[in-house]
Amino acid sequence: MTPGVSTACLYPLETEKALRVLLEQGYRCFEVFLNSFGEMERPFLAELKAMGDAYGARFVSVHPFTAVMESPLLFQTYPRRTEEGFRLYLKFLEAAAFLGAKYVVIHGAPQRSQWLEDEAYWERFGELTRRGRDTGARPAQENVRTYKSLDPAFLRGMREYLGDDCAFVLDVKQCRITGQPIEAVSAAMGDKLCHVHLSSCQGEKLCLLPGEGDFDLVAFRRHLEGMGYTGAVITEVYRESFGQAEELGKSRLAVEKAFLC
């Protein structure tokens, strides 16, 4: 497993500035949170890639800023808008592939009756996977509070329905926020788990930097090993979860000690 970090940790610092700070804190594996349409264009992506290459870093995933728009774009029943949504997300997949990343994180649709029923949702997700296959990157469903994906039964059904046309992101803070055990969510994802968002906690504080609080990083590593997981483990916390950038460097050392020992 490879420890890394998301540029989202420093939002709203501009993406290229966030990447620079994190590189200077010693990180070499990244999820990039693309925060505007302009950041999907080749000149900007080339700037990010050159910056990463200069440090020997690699990119593993992209998180779209349009996550809150995915429901009407991809998971409703208005055909023209759905086609536009596919075209937009193909651009995110192409952006990820240009950086060398394999995954684009998907939030999906909330748990409301006006969105697609589960099977139709899974089929729509599978279609996005198939349309994007030639890009070299693929969408990956994250477990998210208030969304369909918070439910392990939904995730298990998705895996069984789509097989190789699905992939999953396990976010441990979302498990805490929704009250779903990490073990239950990861079991539902099974061998389609491809990406992990890492954080720690303490009491009512549900999103702290790894190495802070009381989340047992070694036990979590052993849990992932037991599943056969070998991918990236990406620190993703909110900006209010820490003070100075140097705290991210300290957290990196704690994660590396737990996952690379």
pLDDT in tens, 86-98: 999 999 999 999 9
Q: Model pTM greater than 0.85?
A: yes
Q: What is the dihedral of CA 20, 24, 29, 34, to 10 degrees?
A: -20
Average pLDDT of every residue of the chain: 97
Asked whether 8 and 15 are in contact (CB, 8 A), the reply is no
Report percent pLDDT > 70 for the chain: 100
Angle between helices 152-162 and 182-189 (to 10 degrees): 10
183's CB contacts (< 8 A; 6+ apart) are 223
Query: What CA–CA distance (Å, rounded) separates 59 from 56?
Result: 10
* Domains of the chain (ranges, CATH numbers): 2-259 (3.20.20.150)
Give the pLDDT confidence score for residue 86 in this predicted structure: 98
Give the pLDDT confidence score for residue 113 in this predicted structure: 65
Tokens of 230: 């070998």
Element (H, E) at 202: strand 200-202
Can you list the residues of the chain whose pLDDT is less than 50? none
Tokens of 199: 């954080």
Cα separation of the two ends of the chain: 11
Give the pLDDT confidence score for residue 261 in this predicted structure: 76
In Å, how far are 78, 112, 170, 191, 224 from 195, measured between CA atoms? Answer: 31, 26, 6, 11, 11
pLDDT tens-digit series, residues 159-173? 999 999 999 999 999
Element (H, E) at 87: helix 79-99
